[in-house]
């Protein structure tokens, strides 16, 4: 059973900060929310590492928005819902596709490096989009460009108080309401109570629950796990999106070979050099991500191989170098060249579709706690996210949360400012400490092996037993960031596995070997969970 708090009273005095709005996370959703909120309120933004250490920063493909002449929000809606395999929330998708174009236009105004041709924004194609719809910047450096622009706007052009290297350990609640978060500064070891009328969770995803992921090291699912401990409802945890084309040549995080390359004409080939996606789906290499992954799985099984190949050798080499500078550089570190070599690729953990349940205003089930971006489950992705909808989600819902704050903060009054908070007492020292790094390695390897992109009942049952055993054998003693991260990973790993075991069908990114069909009669629904026990710690002064 997860503990309500993993934090305990530290052996040094707690510092205290007071904000109107506390934003946790420095990716696109957190930065968007913080910049917008700071126009009106006193805002603090805490981020675990630097503003460059985010999944947003690593994003290659781009931002999908219905800006093209042959496009419309309706067409974007249809593509998103079709990719989502029966589980998208239509209201949330409607919000995403109809507000998306305006949010992206605002972003274009402050981010000069979106790619243009003859003055017009260039739109790329990615899987399962029926038209060219994906804006990109610096070729395949979209995340880097967007992140740098928003970071600069937060640092220089806003009144956001920014705290980097600030590890958030737990959300703080009193009487079921979120009143902020406890953080630990990784540079000086100071613990701080960050009290706020509203907390916005924008901590990103959880790729590091798996041994091989495109996500940065910080993506250990802290936000989802701490929201769970705070009593928030979680949803759709079994839907972990594996990107079809991770470089199958080592590296951590696993280098991503952007889907936009297939949009420009790169092909998937088997060991014999044959295309195989043409026999799987009429859209071939540009089918939805889950379809491509399943096509690859069948091929790799037939060949007994751990990868297939991406072939961009037929494309104009100058175009490839210009359009894909990041991928070109990443591959050159492995002595691979897109214009010369077939690139070994395999699916890799990439995006956490599930998360903290929110409504279309980003409200979670815990009063005072909002969520936006990958940490949230707004329902826009269903069972399979459409490529390049995630940066858009961060932008749209990061903004919507702030538009809703007016109503929430207005109702609260001043009383919340006077709330005090006490942490649970420390537990005694452990007789013998676990080897935290070894446990983490074992857990993430287990997740990749048994709860990865193809699952079976036997594998999931084994995984759950091993996770339970790892949990009860854990001896932490004095806890610091490695221990906190491990507890968060274990919480998520256990809940992902339980949900994957429950869902006895194959749908979207959740592939069950023993239930290979989609079963709408029983499973066109979500799995939602929340911590059974209420918190008892905390209090008023
Ligand atoms: C990619 O560039 O292929 C990743 C884009 C995404 O995950 O949406």
From CA 377, how far away is CA 223, in angstroms rounded? 12
In a domain, 8, yes or no: no
In a domain, 541, yes or no: no
* Co-location of 200 and 307 in the same domain: no
Element (H or E) spanning 409, and its range?
Answer: helix 389-412
* Co-location of 274 and 314 in the same domain: yes
Judge if the beta carbon of residue 60 lies within 6 A of ligand 1.
Answer: yes
* Co-location of 478 and 407 in the same domain: no
Q: Mind spelling out the 3-state secondary structure of 341-372?
A: CEEEEEEEEEEECCEEECCCCCECCCCCEEEC
From CA 362, how far away is CA 365, in angstroms rounded? 10
pLDDT of residue 421: 65
- Span from the CA of 171 to the centroid of ligand 1 (angstroms): 30
In a domain, 539, yes or no: no
Alpha carbon nearest to ligand 1 atom 4, residue? 61
pLDDT of residue 452: 97
In a domain, 455, yes or no: yes
3 classed as catalytic? no
- Point out which residues pair with 174 in neighbouring strands: 177
Provide the CATH number for the domain around residue 504.
1.20.58.100
Structural domain containing residue 279: 247-347
* Co-location of 154 and 271 in the same domain: no
DSSP, collapsed to helix, strand or coil, labels residue 303 as helix
Closest to 512 measured CA to CA, from 468, 451, 439 = 451
Closest to 519 measured CA to CA, from 533, 507, 536 = 507
pLDDT of residue 137: 97
pLDDT of residue 348: 97
Which of 27, 57, 126, 393, when mutated, tests ligand 1's pocket best, judged by the most ligand atoms within 8 Å of its CB?
126
Tokens of 283: 């859209």
Tokens of 436: 């935290």
Counting from 1 in the atom list of ligand 1, the atom nearest the Cα of 259 is 3
pTM, two decimals, is 0.95
* Co-location of 42 and 146 in the same domain: yes
Q: Name, in order, each residue with C-beta under 8 angstroms of 210's C-beta and a sequence gap of 6 or more.
A: 240, 349, 444, 447, 448, 452
Which of 54, 59, 381, when mutated, tests ligand 1's pocket best, judged by the most ligand atoms within 8 Å of its CB?
59
From CA 15, how far away is CA 19, in angstroms rounded? 14
* Co-location of 187 and 70 in the same domain: yes
pLDDT of residue 478: 73
Check residue 61 and report its DSSP letter. Answer: S
In a domain, 96, yes or no: yes
* Co-location of 33 and 172 in the same domain: yes
Closest to 144 measured CA to CA, from 49, 205, 60, 46 = 60
Judge if the beta carbon of residue 258 lies within 6 A of ligand 1.
Answer: yes
* Co-location of 337 and 357 in the same domain: no
pLDDT of residue 66: 98
In a domain, 425, yes or no: no
DSSP, residue by residue, 367-399: TTEEE-STTEE-SSSTTSPPTTHHHHHHHHHHH
Q: Determine contact, residues 253/207, Cβ cutoff 8 Å.
A: yes
Counting from 1 in the atom list of ligand 1, the atom nearest the Cα of 389 is 8
* Co-location of 336 and 255 in the same domain: yes
In a domain, 114, yes or no: yes
Element (H or E) spanning 33, and its range?
Answer: helix 28-37
* Co-location of 261 and 148 in the same domain: no
Count of domains for the chain: 3
Judge if the beta carbon of residue 31 lies within 6 A of ligand 1.
Answer: no
* Co-location of 202 and 92 in the same domain: yes
Judge if the beta carbon of residue 384 lies within 6 A of ligand 1.
Answer: no
In a domain, 2, yes or no: no
Q: Determine contact, residues 211/218, Cβ cutoff 8 Å.
A: no
Ramachandran class of 127: left when φ > 0, alpha when ψ lies in -120 to 50, beta otherwise: beta
Provide the CATH number for the domain around residue 95.
3.50.50.60
Residue by residue, pLDDT tens for the chain (541 residues) are: 556 788 777 777 889 999 999 999 999 999 999 999 999 999 999 999 999 999 999 999 999 999 999 999 999 999 999 999 999 999 999 999 999 999 999 999 999 899 999 999 999 999 999 999 999 999 999 999 999 999 999 999 889 999 999 999 999 999 899 999 999 999 999 999 999 999 999 999 999 999 999 999 999 999 999 999 999 999 999 999 999 999 999 888 999 999 999 999 999 999 999 999 999 999 999 999 999 999 999 999 999 999 999 999 999 999 999 999 999 999 999 999 999 999 999 999 999 999 999 999 999 999 999 999 999 999 999 999 999 999 999 999 999 999 999 888 876 655 665 666 667 776 666 667 889 999 999 999 999 999 999 999 999 999 999 999 999 999 887 788 999 999 999 999 999 999 999 999 999 999 999 999 999 999 999 999 999 875 644 433 2
* Co-location of 125 and 229 in the same domain: yes
Active-site position among 235, 269, 289, 455:
289
From CA 435, how far away is CA 430, in angstroms rounded? 12
Provide the CATH number for the domain around residue 252.
3.90.700.10
């Amino acid at each position: 059973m997860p503990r309500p708090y993993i934090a305990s009273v530290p052996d040094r005095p707690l510092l205290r900060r007071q904000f109107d709005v506390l934003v946790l996370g420095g990716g696109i959703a957190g930065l968007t929310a913080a910049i917008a909120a700071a126009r009106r309120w006193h805002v603090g933004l805490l981020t675990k590492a630097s503003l460059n250490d985010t999944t947003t920063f690593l994003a290659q493909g781009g931002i999908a928005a219905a800006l093209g002449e042959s496009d419309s929000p309706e067409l974007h809606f249809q593509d998103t819902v079709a990719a989502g395999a029966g589980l998208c929330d239509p209201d949330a998708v409607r919000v995403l596709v109809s507000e998306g174009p305006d949010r992206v236009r605002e972003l274009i105004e402050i981010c000069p490096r979106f790619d243009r041709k003859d003055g017009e924004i260039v739109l790329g194609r990615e899987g399962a989009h029926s038209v060219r719809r994906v804006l990109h910047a610096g070729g395949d450096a979209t995340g880097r460009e967007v992140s740098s622009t928003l970071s600069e706007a937060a640092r220089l052009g806003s009144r956001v108080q920014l705290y980097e290297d600030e590890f958030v350990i737990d959300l703080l609640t009193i009487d079921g309401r979120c009143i902020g978060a406890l953080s630990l500064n990784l540079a000086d070891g100071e613990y701080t109570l960050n009290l706020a009328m509203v907390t916005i969770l924008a901590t990103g995803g959880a790729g590091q629950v798996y041994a091989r992921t495109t996500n940065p090291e910080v993506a250990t699912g802290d936000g989802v796990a701490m929201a769970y401990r705070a009593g928030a409802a979680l949803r759709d945890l079994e839907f972990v999106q594996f990107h079809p084309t991770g470089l199958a040549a080592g590296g951590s995080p696993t280098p991503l070979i952007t889907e936009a390359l297939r949009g420009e004409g790169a092909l998937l080939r088997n060991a014999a050099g044959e295309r195989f996606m043409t026999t799987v789906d009429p859209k071939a290499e540009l089918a939805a991500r889950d379809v491509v992954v399943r096509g690859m799985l069948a091929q790799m099984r037939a060949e007994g191989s751990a990868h297939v190949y991406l072939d961009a050798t037929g494309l104009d080499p100058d175009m490839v170098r210009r359009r894909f500078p990041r991928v070109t550089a990443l591959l050159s570190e492995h002595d691979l060249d897109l214009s010369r070599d077939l690139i070994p690729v395999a699916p890799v953990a990439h995006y956490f579709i599930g998360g903290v349940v929110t409504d279309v205003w980003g409200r979670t089930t815990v009063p005072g706690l909002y969520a936006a971006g990958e940490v949230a489950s707004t329902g826009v992705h269903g069972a399979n996210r459409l490529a390049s909808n995630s940066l858009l989600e961060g932008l749209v819902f990061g903004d919507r949360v702030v538009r809703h704050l007016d109503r929430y903060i207005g109702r609260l009054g001043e009383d919340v400012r006077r709330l005090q908070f006490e942490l649970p007492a420390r537990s005694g020292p452990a007789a013998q400490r676990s080897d935290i790094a070894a446990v983490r390695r074992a857990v993430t390897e287990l997740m990749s092996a048994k709860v990865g992109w193809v699952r079976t009942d036997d594998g999931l049952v084994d995984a759950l037993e091993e996770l339970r055993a790892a949990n009860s054998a854990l001896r932490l003693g004095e806890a610091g960031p490695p221990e906190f991260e491990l507890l968060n990973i274990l919480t998520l790993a256990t809940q992902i596995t339980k949900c994957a075991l429950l869902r006895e069908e194959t749908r979207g990114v959740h592939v069950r070997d023993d239930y290979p069909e989609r079963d709408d009669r029983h499973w066109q629904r979500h799995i939602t969970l929340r911590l059974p026990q209420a918190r008892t710690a905390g209090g008023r002064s």
